[in-house]
């Protein structure tokens, strides 16, 4: 007799995430999970960068929020396919919700899929959703102490975007503090300074995305 | 035979919160739980407002963060007593952590106790810590769509502070959107526009605190 043991909630969650990844590998699309505090500019970054991915390149977005379809509406013009996932009181997207979201998309018709997670610097960091890469945004007005205060979020980042850099002039902000704190938790991820509002740094982010996609196994 | 049933984790949590409240009632202090996204300015608000509470008025702070004692260090000059609670990977303060924090303070020597929750717009909203009042901060750079997207946080607020209003001039921000969204979720809580950095609105917040304390049963 074989006894099956589900060792933990996270084990079951990781199995669902692996299945999500398998589906996206099969469709040969690159999936990037975007994590940040509320209002760091995840939606604005996607609005500005999706059209810059290139002629004929198709991007989908699964966007998570407790309530409203506001972000999905904002992205409707820039993305080829968009699905809003409302989590109610849920503080992060789960791989089961992403699996459901994937089933509503035509994956074969996408080159990229972006998952815009619930705005939260803590809980989303603990859940693999099946993404290939994890992008963490940190906006200048949140302050230069956030890497030290929320290290788990930054430890697992494949790329870190310092957003709203156009506000550095009007705030007391020290990039050296962020750099020193990052040196303790993650030295592998490139750091891109950007302002999706002014367009600064968007080209660098798009170049990073293209490189990641080019590096996928064919 | 009596069978004890702990109906849910939240029931046990609420019992601990009630005990915290009883201890603070006994000490005749007003306890205010501050909730917001990371970087909305909770610590700066306390730094600026505690010295304005009045001659001889003593305030304590329990400050929650995943890591570091940075906020406690910042508050050491303004508060009579400060305790930092590090939650590790925990996404909110729990009433058990607050109970432990209370045991390290001389409650009889305090007029106010502020609980600076972990920066997170979702999870802290679900936990009563034993506070008498709940203050929710929303900073202008987070965007004017956050009330609609995180309604549960704002539903239970006793006062709402729109912080960093000095940035309205450099951002696209519409107070009328916030007002319209608040009209759907919470019409009882006063809304205070402030900028702890410039000092705007701090007097209004201090006046609100004094009123709440004056209204406590003696």
pLDDT digits (tens, 9 = 90+) for A109-128: 999 999 999 999 999 999 99
The pLDDT of residue A109 is: 97
The shortest CB-CB distance from B70 to any of A68, A90, A148 is to A148
DSSP state of A104: T
Mean pLDDT across the stretch B190-207? 97
Report percent pLDDT > 70 for chain B.
95
Is pLDDT at A198 greater than 90 in this prediction? yes
CATH homologous superfamily of B2-214 equals: P-loop containing nucleotide triphosphate hydrolases (3.40.50.300)
H or E element at residue B116: strand B112-116
Q: Which of A35, A36, A37, A39 to mutate to test the interface with B (most CBs of B within 10 A)?
A: A39
Is pLDDT at B162 greater than 60 in this prediction? yes
pLDDT digits (tens, 9 = 90+) for A34-83: 999 999 999 999 999 999 999 999 999 999 999 999 999 999 999 999 99
Q: Which residue has the tokens 């045991």?
A: B103
Give the distance from residue B123's alpha carbon to the nearest chain A alpha carbon, in angstroms: 6
A120 and chain B in contact, CB less than 8 A: yes
The pLDDT of residue B11 is: 77
Mean model confidence pLDDT for chain B: 94
| Structure token digits, residue B115 | 């609980």
- Locate the domains of chain B by residue range: 2-214
Is pLDDT at B2 greater than 90 in this prediction? no
**Phi and psi, residue A111, nearest 5°:** -100, -35
Give the distance from residue A69's alpha carbon to the nearest chain B alpha carbon, in angstroms: 9
Is pLDDT at B60 greater than 90 in this prediction? yes
Mean pLDDT across the stretch B155-182? 96
Mean pLDDT across the stretch A189-205? 97
Q: Which of B10, B38, B154, B180 to mutate to test the interface with A (most CBs of A within 10 A)?
A: B38
On chain A, the residues whose CB falls within 8 A of the CB of B89 are: 122, 126, 152
Model confidence, pTM: 0.91
Is pLDDT at B8 greater than 70 in this prediction? no
The pLDDT of residue B110 is: 98
3-state DSSP call for residue A136?
strand
A181/A171 Cα distance (integer angstroms) = 19
Is pLDDT at A102 greater than 60 in this prediction? yes
Concatenated DSSP letters of B81-97: EEEEEE-TT-SS--HHH
pLDDT digits (tens, 9 = 90+) for A135-151: 999 999 999 999 999 99
Q: Which residue has the tokens 């912080």?
A: B163
Q: For residue A5, name the pLDDT band (cuts at 50, 70, 90).
A: low
Mean pLDDT across the stretch B144-164? 97
The shortest CB-CB distance from A67 to any of B139, B142, B149 is to B149
The pLDDT of residue A3 is: 62
Closest residue in A to B197 (Cα–Cα): A171
B122/B118 Cα distance (integer angstroms) = 10
Mean pLDDT across the stretch A155-180? 95
Q: How many CB pairs under 8 A join A and B?
A: 109
The pLDDT of residue B4 is: 58
The pLDDT of residue B12 is: 84
Mean pLDDT across the stretch B165-170? 93
The pLDDT of residue A6 is: 53
């Amino acid at each position: 007799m074989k006894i099956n043991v589900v060792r933990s909630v996270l084990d079951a969650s990781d199995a669902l995430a692996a299945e999500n990844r398998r589906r996206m590998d099969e469709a040969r699309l690159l999936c990037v999970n975007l994590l940040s505090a509320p209002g760091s500019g995840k939606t604005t970054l996607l609005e500005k960068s999706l059209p810059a991915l290139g002629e004929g390149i198709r991007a989908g977005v699964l966007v998570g929020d407790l309530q409203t379809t506001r972000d999905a509406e904002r992205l409707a013009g820039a993305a080829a396919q968009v699905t809003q996932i409302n989590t109610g009181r849920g503080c992060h997207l789960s791989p089961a919700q992403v699996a459901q979201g994937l089933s509503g998309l035509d994956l074969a018709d996408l080159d990229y899929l972006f998952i815009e997670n619930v705005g939260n610097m803590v809980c989303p960091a603990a859940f693999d959703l099946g993404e290939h890469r994890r992008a963490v945004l940190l906006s200048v007005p949140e302050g230069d102490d956030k890497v030290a205060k929320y290290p788990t979020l930054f430890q697992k980042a494949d790329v870190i975007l310092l957003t709203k850099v156009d506000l550095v002039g009007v705030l007391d902000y020290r990039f050296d503090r962020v750099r020193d704190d990052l040196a303790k938790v993650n030295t592998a991820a490139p750091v891109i300074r950007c302002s999706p509002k002014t367009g600064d740094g968007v080209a660098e982010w798009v170049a990073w995305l293209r490189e990641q996609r080019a590096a996928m196994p064919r």
